[in-house]
Structure 1
Amino acid sequence: MIVRIISGIGVVVVVVGVLLFSNTIVLNIAVAALSVACVYEALIATKYVESHALMFASLGIAALTPFVMGFSKSTVMLLMFVYVVIMFLLVFKNFETFKLEHIGVVFLISVIIPYFFGNIIFLNHMDHGIYYLYLIFIGSWCSDSIALCAGKLFGRHKLIPKVSPKKTVEGAIGGIVGTMAGYAVTGVVVERCFELQVNFLALLLLAVGVSIIGQVGDLAASTIKRSFQIKDFGNVIPGHGGVFDRFDSVLFIAPFIALFAQFFTIFL
């Protein structure tokens, strides 16, 4: 547990350090690195990529997507179109060894992960974007941490035991409450320290959604791991596993906040 806490603090320091340079290319590079790491770990877990060229193409789109998310939607679509063409050219070349269902999984991983993470860049381009970026990670950390503590202290009823045996209904509820508390504190800090008006009703509504979506992301990652019979996606973060293990909830939270922000204004 101590190793997990120390590693977690290290991750927080790195993330905050990157966010301090959110108005520079540092953020794009960091999101690209995050996308590449998660795509690589997920593809290695599936063991579906037997071609080095396909792996290179998949990591390539993972690296490029965060750099084009700030441009038009047509630019993103063009990038994905090029990847699809390259992928099928490789399938044609190695038709006897590739399986269509494997290609579908590879495509899903290689496109969805960088596109979802790319919403971090999209949010950064919005008015008051830096505050939305902090909401992504505060929501993830509050939901994960409080859900874990609540589950250990009060957990009695299993949430989805076939997917994640340790997760409980009580832990899930605790995660929602913890995220609401974390967002409420964040809203107060933003109002008092940065002189912005905060729509607390929208903020707390977002907190509920963020916690639920974040837990869905966690369960989605658990489903992949169970399907391919692995415990973790890697071991680069002691006590947490791989990069994907640590950022699985962020993967789902980022696009959810980006979508929410299109309909509700939080920072005025």
Structure 2
Amino acid sequence: MKARVLFGVIGFIFVLLALYVLPPIVLGLAITALCVLAAYEVMHPTGLVKDRWMLRASMLAAAIYALGTCVPNPLFVVPSGLLLHVVALFLLVALFACLLRRHDSVHANEVMAGFFGGLILPYFLLSLWRIFAMEGGQFLVLLPLVAAWGSDTCALFAGMAFGKHKLAPVVSPKKTVEGAIGGVVGATALMMLVVFLMNRYTSLDIHYAGAAVMGAAGAVIGQVGDLSFSIIKRQTGIKDYGHIFPGHGGVLDRFDSVIFVAPVVELVLRVLGPTV
């Protein structure tokens, strides 16, 4: 518990420095690292991708896509749609080439897992960077974290206080229906408060209807994300995805709900778009 709290404090300080003090490239490199580590964790510790060349191709695709999105290239600019197209094509060809070359020992489901880890996970995690790149993004990027982690915290306390009915007894025995409801209500209230403070003390003008949607929908979908990655752990027989975050586990142990919530927040912001 001591390591968990200490690392949480250090992580919080780093986020503040990356958002408001250090140059944007630091945040870009940090998100790139998260993308590559998430790709690795969903494929290797789980055993979903056993072939080392498939694993390398997927991690390389994740790195290229994340770096191309987050780190400015002084030589030329690649449009995001073109970058996604190129990386997806590269990864698909590389994975099927491995399958064709070693079809006697490699299974087709490894292609699917490699594509998910190398492209889908990074694409969703990179919603954090796309939000950060919006006007006022240094504040907006906090919203998916508030929705995801706020929901987790509120669900924990609501479950401890009122929990009686198991939500998913096999997948996550400690989660309750009452806790899940408390997570949605708490995340929505917390999001409204954060948006109120942002509107009052920054140049942002975020729609409160959008804030309610981000809080409620983000909490629901975030809990789906949490349970989804828990199912993968249970079915593959692992306790944690990694140990990079002391006391917290791996990237997917800490960012499982964020991976699902960030695209929701990005979508709401693009549709209802805050004015600056």
Give the TM-score normalised by the residue count of structure 2: 0.89
Q: 2:73 is matched with which residue? A: none
Is the Cα–Cα contact under 8 Å of residues 213 and 252 in structure 1 kept in the other structure? yes
Superposed CA deviations along residues 28-83 of structure 1, whole A, max 9, x for unmatched, are 21111001111111112331433332222111111122233473312211111011
After superposing on structure 2, the runs of 4+ consecutive aligned residues of structure 1 that deviate more than 4 Å are none
Match of 1:211 in 2: 219
The one-letter code of the counterpart of 2:4 is: R
What is the aligned length? 268
- Structure 1 position 111 matched with structure 2 position 119: yes
Structure 2 residue 160 is matched with structure 1 residue 152: yes
Quote the residue 1:57 is aligned against. 57
Question: Given that residues 22 and 130 in structure 1 are in contact (C-alpha distance below 8 angstroms), is that contact kept between their aligned partners in structure 2?
Answer: no
| d(CA) in 1 for partners of 2:179, 2:13 | 26
1:208 Cα deviation from its structure 2 partner: 0.5
Mapped partners of 2:112, 2:209: distance in 1: 40
Mapped partners of 1:211, 1:266: distance in 2: 21
The corresponding residue for 1:175 is 183
| Aligned-pair CA distance for 1:205 | 2.0
The whole-number CA distance in structure 2 between the counterparts of 1:69 and 1:22 is 18
Q: Is the 8 A contact 1:233 1:242 kept in 2?
A: yes
Residues 239/158 of structure 1: CA separation in 2 closer, same or farther (3 Å cut): same
Shift of 1:203: 0.9
Q: TM-score, with normalisation over the residues of structure 1?
A: 0.92
Partner of 1:31: 31
User: Is the CA contact 2:187–2:219 (under 8 Å) kept in the aligned structure 1?
Assistant: yes
1:159 alignment partner, SS class: strand
Equivalent of 1:73 in 73, 81, 86: 81
Unaligned runs of 5+ in 2: 71-78
Q: 1:151 to 1:5 in 2, by over 3 A?
A: farther
Q: Secondary structure at the match of 2:175?
A: strand
Distance 2:148 2:41 in 1: 20
Hey, what does 1:18 align to over in structure 2? 18
Q: 1:148 to 1:8 in 2, by over 3 A?
A: farther
* 2:236 counterpart residue number: 228
Q: 1:186 to 1:22 in 2, by over 3 A?
A: farther
**Deviation, structure 1 residue 23:** 6.2
Decide whether the 8 Å contact of 1:66 with 1:121 is kept in 2: no
Please state how far the C-alpha of 1:238 moved relative to its aligned partner. Answer: 2.8
The percent identity for this pair of structures is 35
1:141 aligns with 2:149: yes
